[in-house]
């Protein structure tokens, strides 16, 4: 797909991986709409990028948004859907564990209500995470959610053909989702990646490059691309 002139909707498009994706799509000439719960808090967006407010868990709002934007060629969701629970499973607050699956419900809503408006030669890309297939201690909720997202993609991709549905799986990525600052932030990233073949945190742009590949390559569907510095090998 040549994205120049194509219309793209990016959920979670005002921060982190979503924002990096918006910038790269816009840089290639796509008409981009960046969507989030609080677009007023958006990072610096390229000229011409539109913003819209929507909660991926609000099906009525999503339906209205898709109707107003249709038709479009590209649909990306990097929206987290809510908080993520961490810690030992046997000490887990089960409401927190359940709420971690808001990411899955949000993605399911994006695909269910957005896919009918995507062009037949269009592309949909979701974002999971490395714990989906290699879980480190304390990440049971994150891992289970990511695994469910990847299973959703493999299950639904054949139903959507010829439209394409794929998923990108990031490892430790330096984005605003991590609330730490300064030396604490640097130490946390160093500790998390010390045993990885590439011992550093990735960038949002590096993940966005994989999302762009999924969009542009017309021969890829139902597939997961890992952008994790070797998380799965460590």
Segment 117-145, tens digit of pLDDT: 999 999 999 999 999 999 989 999 999 99
DSSP the chain: ---TT-EEEEETTTSHHHHHHHHHHHHTT-EEEEEES-GGG--PPPTT-EEEE--TT-HHHHHHHHHHH-SEEEEEE----S----S-GGG--HHHHHHHTHHHHHHHHHHHHHGGGEEEEEEEEEE--GGGTSPPTT-HHHHHHHHHHHHHHHHHHHHHTTSEEEEEEE-SEESTTS---HHHHHHHHHHHHTTSSS-S-EEHHHHHHHHHHHHH-TT--S-EEEESTTGGG-
User: Is the Cβ–Cβ distance between 228 and 202 less than 8 Å?
Assistant: yes
Q: How confident is the model at residue 178 (pLDDT cuts 50, 70, 90)?
A: confident
pLDDT score recorded for residue 180:
86
pLDDT score recorded for residue 72:
98
Residue closest to 211 by CA, chosen among 169, 158, 174:
169
pLDDT score recorded for residue 102:
94
Task: For the chain, give the mean pLDDT.
Answer: 95
Domains of the chain: 7-226 (3.40.50.720)
Quick check: 17 pLDDT over 90?
yes
Which two tokens mark 182?
């300064």
Helix pair angle (59-69, 102-114), 10° resolution: 40
In tens, the pLDDT along 201-230 reads 999 999 999 999 999 999 999 999 999 999
In tens, the pLDDT along 52-83 reads 999 999 999 999 999 999 999 999 999 987 77
Distance CA 192, CA 199 (A): 9
Mean pLDDT within 193-199 = 96
Q: How confident is the model at residue 41 (pLDDT cuts 50, 70, 90)?
A: confident
Residue closest to 45 by CA, chosen among 28, 29, 24:
24
User: Is the Cβ–Cβ distance between 12 and 18 less than 8 Å?
Assistant: yes
Predicted model pTM: 0.95
């Amino acid at each position: 797909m040549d994205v120049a002139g194509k219309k793209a909707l990016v959920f979670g498009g005002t921060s982190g991986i979503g924002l990096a994706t918006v910038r790269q799509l816009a840089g290639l000439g796509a008409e981009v709409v960046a969507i989030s719960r609080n677009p007023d808090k958006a990072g610096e967006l390229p000229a011409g990028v539109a913003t819209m407010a929507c909660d991926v868990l609000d099906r009525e709002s999503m339906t209205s948004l898709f109707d107003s934007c249709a038709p479009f060629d590209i649909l990306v969701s990097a929206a987290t859907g809510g908080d993520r629970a961490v810690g030992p499973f046997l000490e887990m607050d089960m409401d927190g564990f359940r709420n971690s699956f808001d990411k899955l419900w949000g993605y399911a809503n994006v695909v269910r209500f957005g896919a009918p408006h995507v062009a037949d030669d269009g592309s949909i890309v979701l974002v999971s995470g490395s714990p989906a297939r290699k879980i480190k201690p304390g990440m049971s909720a994150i891992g289970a959610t990511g695994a469910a997202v990847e299973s959703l993609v493999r299950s639904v991709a054949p139903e959507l053909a010829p439209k394409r549905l794929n998923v990108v799986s990031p490892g430790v990525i330096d984005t605003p989702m991590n609330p730490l600052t300064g030396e604490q932030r640097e130490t946390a990233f160093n500790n998390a990646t010390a045993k990885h073949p590439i011992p550093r945190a990735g960038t949002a742009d590096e993940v966005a490059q994989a999302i762009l590949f999924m969009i542009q390559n017309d021969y890829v569907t139902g597939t997961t691309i890992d952008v994790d510095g070797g998380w799965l090998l460590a």
